[in-house]
Amino acid sequence: MSEITAANLISMFAEIAKAMAESKAHLCELDGVIGDADHGIAMDLGFSTVATNLAAPDITAADPTTVFNTAAKSFLNAVGASSGPLYATAFMRAGASVKGKTVLTASDFADAFIAMAKGIQDRGKAEIGDKTMIDAWVPAAEAVESAKTQGASLAEILDKAGKAAEAGAEATKAMIASKGRSARLGERAIGHIDPGAASTAILIRAMGKGLG
Amino acid sequence: MSEITAANLISMFAEIAKAMAESKAHLCELDGVIGDADHGIAMDLGFSTVATNLAAPDITAADPTTVFNTAAKSFLNAVGASSGPLYATAFMRAGASVKGKTVLTASDFADAFIAMAKGIQDRGKAEIGDKTMIDAWVPAAEAVESAKTQGASLAEILDKAGKAAEAGAEATKAMIASKGRSARLGERAIGHIDPGAASTAILIRAMGKGLG
Amino acid sequence: MKTKKIINDGANAVDEMLEGVLAAHSAKVFALDHSPRSIIARDGPRPGKVGMVIGGGSGHEPSFLGFVGKGLADAAAIGNVFASPPPDPIIECTKAVNNGAGVLYMYGNYAGDVMNFDMAAEMVAMEDIEVRTVLTTDDVASAPADQRDKRRGVAGNVFVFKAAGAACDKMLPIDECERIARKANDRTFTFGVALSPCSLPQTLKPNFTLGEDEMEVGMGIHGEPGISKEKLKPADAITDELMDKILDEMAAPKGDRVAVIVNSLGSTPLMELYIMMRQVKKRLDQAGLALHLSLVGNYCTSLEMAGASITVMHLDAELQEMIDHPCDCAMFRAG
Amino acid sequence: MKTKKIINDGANAVDEMLEGVLAAHSAKVFALDHSPRSIIARDGPRPGKVGMVIGGGSGHEPSFLGFVGKGLADAAAIGNVFASPPPDPIIECTKAVNNGAGVLYMYGNYAGDVMNFDMAAEMVAMEDIEVRTVLTTDDVASAPADQRDKRRGVAGNVFVFKAAGAACDKMLPIDECERIARKANDRTFTFGVALSPCSLPQTLKPNFTLGEDEMEVGMGIHGEPGISKEKLKPADAITDELMDKILDEMAAPKGDRVAVIVNSLGSTPLMELYIMMRQVKKRLDQAGLALHLSLVGNYCTSLEMAGASITVMHLDAELQEMIDHPCDCAMFRAG
Ligand SMILES: Nc1ncnc2c1ncn2[C@@H]1O[C@H](COP(=O)(O)OP(=O)(O)O)[C@@H](O)[C@H]1O
Ligand SMILES: Nc1ncnc2c1ncn2[C@@H]1O[C@H](COP(=O)(O)OP(=O)(O)O)[C@@H](O)[C@H]1O
Ligand SMILES: [Mg+2]
Ligand SMILES: [Mg+2]
Ligand SMILES: [Mg+2]
Ligand SMILES: [Mg+2]
């Protein structure tokens, strides 16, 4: 895909919703170990609401910014929790970064992606190593940045982002948490993947699939 | 044993307490099926309190009536429940029936036994076939009566009583309850022994052992 | 496998609980020095007032001791877990609350309670205390409608006690208190389901078993089996099953008012009770009945049993006045 | 194996619960038409009064919506099970209770709640509503004493909200309300243990596992792991472990007064709570502290989790006045 339309973004969110529905139980399990066992529910509920709202007939004529903003609001209001503001901020920033465009190039999408990661950092104030979704988002955004610079295709960009996010998620296993619910766990968190980092990797993979 | 002293009665109650302690779990299980699962607790608690109170030093000089009355009060106050008033009435009646005697013959004891069964009937107003301890007590009392008439020894009398009580308890299996907690069960009570009938058989066997 | 409980020796659970209750609620209740299982209201018994004694086994908290206080019961006699109190604490309660106007005994209709309270009544009668007894028989699951006097008393106790306690608090004569208590009981209906068992503190073993997807309809508050085992159903279907029976028996004309209790048997949380409450309200609306008052929570429990019961009291002007009368107890305030 | 619950579709549990709450307590609370998860007190908000908005995830009932009413919170924003409400219902609550004197946000210190309430605060600030936020951080298990601001808010909420709600009800200016709320939080300490897990209505799967004879010390009210797993101990030993830490941190001089909550996490019944209460009283006596008030029961739960927490609030004259101030909420009456 060389040019991304609003309709493509809508398909992308549908793909994300599908992936989250499939991963619901797995993400709840991960969250059960170090959190409150609801991350899969939040992601599934949030993205299924996004997909439903994006399937409304009046959306089809929308531009990419509207799609991202609709996704942001839908996710936020359906979910609340920690993930609500984090993802909502991400999508709002993505929307802002592509403002005025009706179709997005791979490079536009890369910028939107980087804005998403930045949004989550701004909202949650987590650092790399805090054992949060940031540990997946930041390396993914770095991968996107360097792939973009190398003029890679959208598929390549998102594949590199997915790989980086997966590695980042895996790396959270070794970490002690210092943000979110598991921040109180200390050493007991070691050995367990952060659920938000895991869902981030799933989300990015689904982006690739949805835009593929 | 041809003559039963107060001290013998005290040993008898100690033997009953021992037997109930051993049967506690079993009686709770029986009560769990058709009642509230506490009959073993009540019997164990009641008779261990009786045994403790009868082990008090000032009791040793007592007459049989005092022993029975002490047992009645101790049991009643420790237990409450259904079994409290039933057994307390039984022991009070036994005490009344041997009033004025310092030692009891086998025939005296047989009378006391029959008075106990009568007391339980008077208190609980249950009939044969109602699936209660009456289904063990009444045949046991009849066995005692006829053994006594035949001039049987105490050991023989209590052995016959035990056999009759065991058969009576077994017979409750086939009954629909119409008194006590399980009265609401209807057909669902069929196939299960009434816990009070079971404890009656255990009690009578322990009497035999305690006076043997 | 043993049930986990926060207890010390299970054999001391009732007495230790009472110590805790007295520590927490010393402003409302006290225990008699010579009878520590007789719990008396600090503010309640007074000259000329009919005394009201309730009681029953432990394990149903806040029933029964939680309902001792101004405007409700004057005293509660406390039994072992799931076991009627013996006559002694009942007698001591009676003496403590007797003020010459007679004493009303109110408790659930269980063989053990009847025998023990009757023995107590016989004994205080010898001391010229007039005792009237009103048994609660609100559990529709426990006998057919034409054998109402065979039914058990369950969560409906709360309303029946409340109405009678109000009558006593209003200084009505014992005939009136008794009449109101009987009417309250006649117009109160409870039906419940259990989802999982409880364990006695002395055994820590589940007191019955239910399949993974089963519920017991009409379960007693001591884990006595009910009417039938059924497959667990959605909340609305359960509520409908309970309300069908209750509304049918109650046969209240449209426009009448009712009071409702959605009661947890112990471990069923408020979320589930309120989901039931939602459907209760729908059914009342359909039947044209006005919801005057609702209690939702733990009112008559079976230790940590899972499940819930619905109680509906069919009000009339008099019962409504009694139910609205203020009460201020250790574990219950209303009005 | 699935946990048995009395629900319909788990995805609708929160909304159906709210319908039930509104059916049962329509005299006390209502939901905004345009924002059904914004629950508002009928009697509370009034001209010149600081508005108080509380909130958090569902599954902790009676927290938070049960504490909406005259003398306590003016509104609660309701989230999904164990999930902070999003900004929208918080914003709507804020507008509904704003009377020009400012609005106080009070909620437990969780990342999700902080982000959502902060977003709401930013948005209402644009409409010139002054918002002050006081986070509750009473859970001593959740961070060392020198990092108090990292601690979670748990059952101590009830006292902290109560004190702040009283200050608002007394028409104090927002600076005073905020000061009292902060002081109340600073002087409130909670510590708890969990014995068995709960299950979310959407999954019906236990949200953590504990061995047959284990308890989790310092468990969060969403099933977040605590400080350590230990072997289950007798009630007195558990209570001592909790009270040791609380009394140590509280460092109250002899003769001072305290208020106590012995709180069930859901399925732990009153019998066990009162057995703990007994030992709490012993420890207070030993420390020379007077027990001013005790709440024993379900105040801040985690669905049907088994376990309990102890909260101690170190009173001074002002806090005592606030705690004694009457409140009349859907699920809580005091004073
Ligand atoms: N401050 C934060 N910054 C970034 N991510 C965070 C932050 N706090 C929590 N998270 C992420 O949120 C995830 C949990 O999300 P979720 O379970 O949906 O919400 P909650 O913790 O409210 O139940 C964590 O695994 C973590 O990755
Ligand atoms: N009216 C009665 N007459 C005779 N026995 C009775 C009567 N009611 C109950 N019982 C006996 O009591 C037994 C139950 O005793 P227990 O479990 O100790 O008391 P509770 O039923 O109060 O829990 C029943 O199994 C039955 O044998
Ligand atoms: Mg979570
Ligand atoms: Mg029994
Ligand atoms: Mg019993
Ligand atoms: Mg959550």
User: Is any Cβ of chain C less than 8 angstroms from the Cβ of D201?
Assistant: yes
Note the ligand closest to the C-alpha atom of D81.
Answer: 6
Interface probe for C, chosen from D9, D231, D238, D275 (most Cβ of C below 10 Å), is D275
What contacts 24+ positions apart, CB below 8 Å, involve D167-173?
Answer: D167/D50, D167/D322, D168/D49, D168/D50, D168/D51, D168/D52, D168/D74, D168/D104, D169/D44, D169/D49, D169/D70, D169/D71, D169/D72, D169/D325, D169/D327, D170/D325, D171/D48, D171/D49, D172/D50, D173/D50, D173/D101
Domains identified in chain B and CATH numbers: 6-210 (1.25.40.340)
Write down the residue that tokens 């619905």 correspond to: C310
Q: Is the CB of A194 under 6 A from ligand 1?
A: yes
- At A118-136, the pLDDT tens digits run 999 999 999 999 999 999 9
Sign of the Cα pseudo-torsion (C276, C281, C286, C287, in order):
positive
| A198 Cα–ligand 6 center, Å | 16
The C-alpha atoms of residue C224 and residue B173 are separated, in whole angstroms, by 17
Residues 6+ apart with CB under 8 A from C90: C53, C55, C77, C105, C116, C117, C120
CA distance C7 to chain D (A): 5
Q: Is D212 exposed, middle or buried (0-12, 13-18, 19+ CB in 10 A)?
A: exposed
Residue B111 pLDDT exceeds 80: yes
pLDDT, residue A180, reads 61
The C-alpha atoms of residue B118 and residue B124 are separated, in whole angstroms, by 10
Grade residue B1 by pLDDT with cuts at 50, 70 and 90: low
Residue C328 region, left (φ>0) first, then alpha (ψ -120 to 50), else beta? beta
Grade residue B193 by pLDDT with cuts at 50, 70 and 90: very high
| D132 Cα–ligand 5 center, Å | 55
Question: Chain A 122-161, CB below 8 Å of chain D: which residues?
Answer: 123-124
- The complex's ipTM? 0.95
User: Is any Cβ of chain D less than 8 angstroms from the Cβ of A121?
Assistant: no
The C-alpha atoms of residue D273 and residue D192 are separated, in whole angstroms, by 12
| C79 Cα–ligand 5 center, Å | 9
Note whether C249 and C140 are within 8 A (CB).
Answer: yes
In D, minimum Cα distance to C21 occurs at D274
CA distance A159 to chain D (A): 30
- Say how many CB pairs under 8 Å bridge A and D: 116
Chains touching A, CB cut-off 8 Å, 3+ pairs = D
pLDDT, residue A181, reads 61
Among D80, D218, D225, select the one facing A80 at the smallest CB separation.
D80
How are beta strands D29-32 and C327-329 bridged, if at all?
unpaired
What mean pLDDT, rounded, does chain A reach? Answer: 94
Q: Work out the angle at residue A102's Cα, subtended by the Cα atoms of residues A100 and A107, and round it to the nearest 5 degrees.
A: 85
pLDDT, residue A61, reads 73
The C-alpha atoms of residue D192 and residue D266 are separated, in whole angstroms, by 13
**Residue-level length of chain C:** 335
Q: How far is CA A81 from CA A46, A209, B99, C184, D53, in A?
A: 11, 27, 78, 47, 17
Structure tokens at B160: 């016959």
DSSP code, position D3: P
CATH number assigned to the domain covering D10-186: 3.40.50.10440
Residue with the nearest Cα to atom 1 of ligand 1?
A: A124
Write down the residue that tokens 């066990």 correspond to: D272
Please choose, from the candidates A85, A146, A75, A156, the residue with its C-alpha nearest in 3D space to the C-alpha of residue A114.
Answer: A146
Among C79, C119, C224, select the one facing B181 at the smallest CB separation.
C224
Please choose, from the candidates D105, D157, D167, the residue with its C-alpha nearest in 3D space to the C-alpha of residue D327.
Answer: D167
Q: Is the CB of A197 under 6 A from ligand 1?
A: yes
Grade residue A1 by pLDDT with cuts at 50, 70 and 90: low
Among C19, C238, C281, select the one facing D23 at the smallest CB separation.
C281
Residues of C recognised as catalytic: 60, 222
For residue D195, give the H/E element and its range. strand D188-196
In D, minimum Cα distance to A178 occurs at D150
Grade residue A57 by pLDDT with cuts at 50, 70 and 90: confident
Residues of D recognised as catalytic: 60, 222
DSSP code, position A72: H
User: Quick one: average pLDDT of B94-115?
Assistant: 97
Q: Which residues of B touch C83 (CB under 8 A)?
A: 38, 42, 79-81, 84
CB contact under 8 A, B81 and C11: no
Residue B182 pLDDT exceeds 70: no
pLDDT, residue B71, reads 97
Residue C129 region, left (φ>0) first, then alpha (ψ -120 to 50), else beta? beta
Q: Which CATH superfamily is domain D188-323 in?
A: Dihydroxyacetone kinase; domain 2 (3.30.1180.20)
User: Quick one: average pLDDT of B36-60?
Assistant: 92
CB contact under 8 A, D80 and A183: no
- Kindly report, as residue ranges, where domains of CATH 3.40.50.10440 are found in chain D: 10-186
Grade residue A184 by pLDDT with cuts at 50, 70 and 90: low
CB contact under 8 A, D88 and A81: no
- Kindly report, as residue ranges, where domains of CATH 3.30.1180.20 are found in chain D: 188-323
Q: Is the CB of D111 under 6 A from ligand 1?
A: yes
Chains touching C, CB cut-off 8 Å, 3+ pairs = B, D
Structure tokens at D261: 């909550």
pLDDT in tens, chain C (335 residues): 799 999 999 999 999 999 999 999 999 999 999 999 999 999 999 999 999 999 999 999 999 999 999 999 999 999 999 999 999 999 999 999 999 999 999 999 999 999 999 999 999 999 999 999 999 999 999 999 999 999 999 999 999 999 999 999 999 999 999 999 999 999 999 999 999 999 999 999 998 889 999 999 998 899 888 888 999 999 999 999 999 999 999 999 999 999 999 999 999 999 999 999 999 999 999 999 999 999 999 999 999 999 999 999 999 999 999 999 999 999 999 98
| C63 Cα–ligand 1 center, Å | 43
3-state secondary structure of C241: helix
Write down the residue that tokens 């959270």 correspond to: A172
Residue B187 pLDDT exceeds 80: no
- Kindly report, as residue ranges, where domains of CATH 3.40.50.10440 are found in chain C: 13-186
pLDDT, residue A15, reads 98
Q: How far is CA C206 from CA B181, C265, D141, D310, in A?
A: 18, 15, 32, 27
The C-alpha atoms of residue A60 and residue C317 are separated, in whole angstroms, by 61
pLDDT, residue B188, reads 77
pLDDT below 50 — which residues of chain D? Answer: none
Burial string for A96-118 (b: 16+ CB within 10 Å, else e) reads: ebbeeeeebebebbbbbbbbbbb
Structure tokens at A117: 């990661």
CB atoms inside a 10 Å sphere around CB D248: 11
User: Quick one: average pLDDT of B160-169?
Assistant: 98
The C-alpha atoms of residue D268 and residue D307 are separated, in whole angstroms, by 6
User: Is any Cβ of chain A less than 8 angstroms from the Cβ of D162?
Assistant: no
The C-alpha atoms of residue A29 and residue A201 are separated, in whole angstroms, by 16
CA distance D220 to chain A (A): 9
User: What kind of architecture, by CATH, is found in domain C13-186?
Assistant: 3-Layer(aba) Sandwich (3.40)
DSSP code, position D138: -
Q: Give the DSSP letter string of A98-133.
A: TTT-SSB-HHHHHHHHHHHHHHHHHHH---TTSSST
Please choose, from the candidates D58, D40, D69, the residue with its C-alpha nearest in 3D space to the C-alpha of residue D331.
Answer: D69
CB contact under 8 A, D267 and C301: no
User: Is any Cβ of chain A less than 8 angstroms from the Cβ of D220?
Assistant: yes
What mean pLDDT, rounded, does chain B reach? Answer: 94
DSSP code, position D318: H
